[in-house]
């Protein structure tokens, strides 16, 4: 491929270039899509077992790949332990897709007094995927695994901020089934608007999602968009504030330096328990938060992705009454480090409350009663995730039913509350479509029907030429 060179920097070590990629021109993108299209029909004709065998082989290659984990840590700034976990989990997910694909993709055949109906799940063809930098391996596999299992091929444009590790993984798939194109807006536009791309998959921020959705809509190309969130975490008055619970909450806010779409971003606690909650949260952060270099084994929170992100987040951290959290184990001037901070003394109009902060700056607010907090938690245009914390499981589920969120965690928040079987995605302006679960596999299929009404079967009663169905 030809084009300009993009240098990939280490956000934790200013001046360190981790690697380079070359941007794909629109002509390069067209060539990649053409190769994917040429491979797709033959691949789709294979039995499901043969298609998912491809996923299983790649999954096996993701076990204990230390060099790959280190590369991901250096380009993304995520702690090395998190990178190891993400890569292993990507393999777990691919195997799960392989285990579910035959059942999810099977034909559904009905033959009864109403007639004969065959429903088939057919692939779209070529899928174009644009993936983010914050969890590039798993968020790409959430698209690649289901797409291939269903018989599609896929062209992936990774984020230029962290494209190296995922590109190495995608090179392990057979040629033509998965193709990588690097670049920025021009490359993404060429991919989304190519006439042979029959489905678009995107994970990222709302602004980019709007642009990609508009382009896909103009081309009448269906899309799955997993966008941002401003997730509330609501503690009911009987919530457990034990060390284990608070450790989960703190890491649910600050994993990947808070740069996670489903992080706990707004904390709501009853007025009567505010001081108790604040003290427990600060104590938990002292136990589990170590701000440091991604390759330091003690680090649990690394740098944010860029200088611009750090500047924006430091400005947010100056709002209200900031409470610095955890321990700092690095010279923060070496990289784009923002100390995890709990913000107190704010109201719902503050930008750090009303908007997604996407970083290690989290506000805590008090509430009077459940109706008050529910209205405030549901305010705004985003509805990706939420959590409710209560010692009473039935009470928690009753409250959770009233959230305007695509996924609600109970007594945890973030990846500890995920499940392979549970579909994930947003409501309102947090996107549409689902990943994970059987629904995440079905996203990459089209339901096609073959129908013979009973009236027109041999010996049937017939029906008038202009009659409505019965």
> Quick check: 182 and 23 in contact, CB under 8 A?
yes
Asked if 410 contacts 397 with a C-beta cutoff of 8 angstroms, the reply is: yes
> What is this structure's pTM?
0.96
* Torsions phi, psi for 5 (to 5 deg): -95, 135
User: Is residue 390 over pLDDT 60?
Assistant: yes
β-sheet bridge partners, residue 199: 127
Judge contact between 96 and 432, C-beta under 8 A: no
pLDDT in tens, 119-173: 999 999 999 999 999 999 999 999 999 999 999 999 999 999 999 999 999 999 9
SS3 call for 425: coil
Residues 6+ apart with CB under 8 A from 377: 232, 234, 266, 268, 386, 403
pLDDT score at 3? 75
Please write the tens of the pLDDT for every residue from 230-268: 999 999 999 999 999 999 999 999 999 999 999 999 999
Q: What angle do CA 161, 186, 36 make, to 5 degrees?
A: 90
Share the mean pLDDT of the chain: 97
Span 337-360, mean pLDDT?
Answer: 97
| Cα-to-chain-centroid distance, residue 153 | 20
Confidence of residue 2 (pLDDT cuts 50, 70, 90): low
pLDDT surpasses 70 at 19: yes
Q: What is the mean pLDDT of residues 414-439?
A: 97
Angstrom distance (rounded) from CA 83 to CA 69: 5
CA distances from 296 to 19, 340, 366 (A): 20, 17, 36
CA nearest neighbour of 402 among 376, 364, 431: 376
Distance between CA atoms of 107 and 109, rounded to whole angstroms? Answer: 6
Backbone angles phi, psi at 134, to 5 degrees: -80, -30
Q: In which element (H, E) is residue 17 found?
A: strand 17-22
The reported pLDDT for the residue numbered 266 is 98
Averaged pLDDT, 72-87: 98
Q: What is the tens place of the pLDDT at every residue in 298-313? A: 999 999 999 999 999 9
Percentage of residues in the chain having pLDDT higher than 90: 99
Structure confidence at residue 1 as a pLDDT band (50, 70, 90): very low
| Catalytically annotated residues | 143, 226, 261, 435
CA angle 53/54/60 to nearest 5° reads: 85
Average pLDDT rounded to a whole number, residues 272-287: 98
Give the tokens for residue 450: 């073959």
DSSP-derived letter for residue 26 is H
Reported for 401-407, long-range contacts at CB under 8 A and 24+ positions apart, including other chains, are 402/374, 402/378, 403/232, 403/374, 403/377, 403/378, 404/378, 404/428, 405/231, 406/430, 406/434, 407/262
């Amino acid at each position: 491929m030809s084009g300009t060179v993009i240098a990939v920097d280490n956000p934790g070590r200013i001046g360190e270039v981790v690697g380079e990629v070359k941007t794909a021109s629109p002509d390069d993108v067209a060539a990649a899509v053409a190769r994917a299209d040429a491979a797709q029909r033959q691949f789709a004709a294979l039995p499901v077992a043969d298609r998912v065998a491809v996923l299983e082989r790649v999954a096996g290659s993701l076990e204990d790949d230390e060099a790959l984990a280190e590369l991901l840590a250096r380009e993304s700034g995520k702690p090395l332990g998190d990178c190891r976990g993400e890569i292993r989990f990507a393999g777990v997910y691919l195997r799960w897709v392989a285990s579910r694909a035959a059942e999810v993709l099977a034909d559904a055949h009905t033959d009864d007094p109403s007639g004969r109906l065959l429903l088939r799940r057919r692939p779209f063809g070529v899928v174009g995927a644009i993936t983010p930098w914050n969890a590039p391996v798993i968020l790409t596999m959430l698209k690649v695994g289901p797409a291939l299992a269903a018989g599609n091929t896929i062209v992936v444009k990774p984020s230029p901020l962290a494209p190296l590790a995922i590109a190495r993984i995608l090179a392990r798939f057979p040629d033509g089934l998965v193709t990588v194109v690097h670049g920025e807006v021009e490359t993404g536009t060429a991919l989304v608007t190519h006439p042979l791309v029959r489905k678009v998959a995107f994970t990222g921020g709302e602004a980019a999602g709007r642009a990609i959705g508009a382009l896909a809509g103009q081309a009448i190309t269906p899309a799955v968009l997993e966008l941002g969130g401003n997730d509330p975490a609501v503690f009911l008055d009987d919530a457990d504030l034990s060390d284990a619970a608070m450790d989960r909450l703190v890491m649910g806010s600050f994993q990947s330096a808070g740069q996670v779409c489903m992080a706990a971003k707004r904390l709501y606690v009853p007025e009567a328990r505010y001081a108790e909650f604040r003290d427990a949260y600060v104590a938990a952060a002292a136990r589990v938060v170590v701000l440091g270099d991604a390759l330091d084994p003690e680090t649990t929170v690394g740098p944010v992705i860029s200088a611009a992100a750090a500047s924006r987040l430091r400005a947010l951290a100056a709002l209200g009454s900031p409470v610095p959290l955890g321990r700092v184990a690095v010279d923060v001037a070496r990289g784009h480090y923002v100390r995890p901070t709990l913000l107190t003394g704010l109201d719902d109009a503050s930008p750090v409350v009303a908007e997604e902060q996407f970083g290690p700056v989290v506000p805590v607010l008090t509430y009077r009663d459940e109706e008050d907090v529910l209205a405030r938690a549901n305010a705004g245009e985003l509805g990706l995730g939420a959590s409710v914390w209560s010692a009473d499981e039935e009470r928690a589920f009753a409250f959770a039913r009233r959230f305007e969120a695509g996924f609600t965690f109970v007594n945890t928040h973030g990846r500890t509350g995920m499940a392979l079987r549970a579909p994930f995605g947003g409501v309102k302006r947090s996107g549409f479509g689902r990943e994970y679960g059987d629904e995440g596999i079905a996203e990459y299929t089209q339901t096609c029907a073959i129908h013979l009404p009973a009236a027109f079967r041999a010996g049937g009663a017939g029906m008038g030429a202009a009659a409505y169905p019965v």
